[in-house]
Amino acid sequence: MTNEELKIAVSALFPSVTYDETGEYLTVLISPAELSPLMNGLRSNGDLSFDYLFCLTAVDWKTHLTLVYHLQSKVHRHVLVVKAKITDIANPVIETVSDIWQTANFHEREVYDLFGITFTRHPDMRRILLDESWEGYPLRKNYVDENMIEI
């Protein structure tokens, strides 16, 4: 499907979502509450069948956090980006998608490790790269490290 066709197909399933069409891929902008039903629909719908989550990451915009999901369909060869905006900086929480795509298990642990975003219903929510005793989340903009020499 082309980006235009994807937009029509996604809108038919989820009329409330908005889009960003400036990039190479069609980007779906949602709130965290919409995540689970949207992702389940994208995966299970036969015309979309996004069966491959090839990137899951987060961005710290200081005022808010964004979860970014890159999805691909191995059947239809199309790509879609989903961005979920988290406004609660102090206690960022979003639902897991590890029940939809197994690969999200480790990706979400990495995001938790480095951004401090908690994923609800995640089967094993703990740090993956850093020490268990590590304090803070290094990729957050407000991260303070006394040993770090900044330039």
Partner 1 sequence: MAETEKMIFPAQLHQTADGGIVVSKLDEMINWARSNSLWPLVFGTSCCAIEMMSAADAKYDWSRFGFEVARATPRQADLIIVAGTIVMKMAPVLKRLYDQMPDPKYVIAMGACTISGGPFFYNTYSVVKGVDHVIPVDVYIPGCPPRPEALLHALITLQEKIKHETYFGKSKETGK
3-state SS, residue 44: helix
Shortest gap between Cβ of 128 and partner 1 (angstroms)?
A: 11
Which pairing describes strands 93-95 and 79-86: parallel, antiparallel, or unpaired? unpaired
Name every residue whose Cβ is closer than 8 Å to that of residue 92 and which is 6 or more positions away in sequence: 65, 86, 115, 116, 117, 118
Regarding 130 and contact with partner 1 (CB under 8 A), the answer is yes
Query: Using CB under 8 A as the criterion, what x/- string covers residues 4-33 for binding partner 1?
Result: ------------------------------
- Cα–Cα distance measured from residue 1 to residue 124, given in angstroms and rounded to the nearest whole number: 35
Shortest gap between Cβ of 146 and partner 1 (angstroms)?
A: 11
Regarding 90 and contact with partner 1 (CB under 8 A), the answer is no
Q: Which of 15, 16, 131, 141 forms a contact with partner 1 (CB under 8 A)?
A: 131
- Cα–Cα distance measured from residue 68 to residue 55, given in angstroms and rounded to the nearest whole number: 8
Site stretch for partner 1 (CB under 8 A), options 1-9, 39-47, 75-83, 143-151: 143-151
Shortest gap between Cβ of 136 and partner 1 (angstroms)?
A: 9
Report which of 119, 128, 105 is spatially closest to residue 53, judged by C-alpha positions. Answer: 105
Shortest gap between Cβ of 37 and partner 1 (angstroms)?
A: 37
Regarding 149 and contact with partner 1 (CB under 8 A), the answer is yes
Residue identified by tokens 């994923």 is 119
Task: State the distance between the two ends of the chain, measured CA to CA, in whole angstroms.
Answer: 46
Comparing CB distances to partner 1, the nearer of 2 and 147 is 147
- Interface contacts to partner 1, rule CB under 8 A: 129-131, 138, 143, 145, 147-151
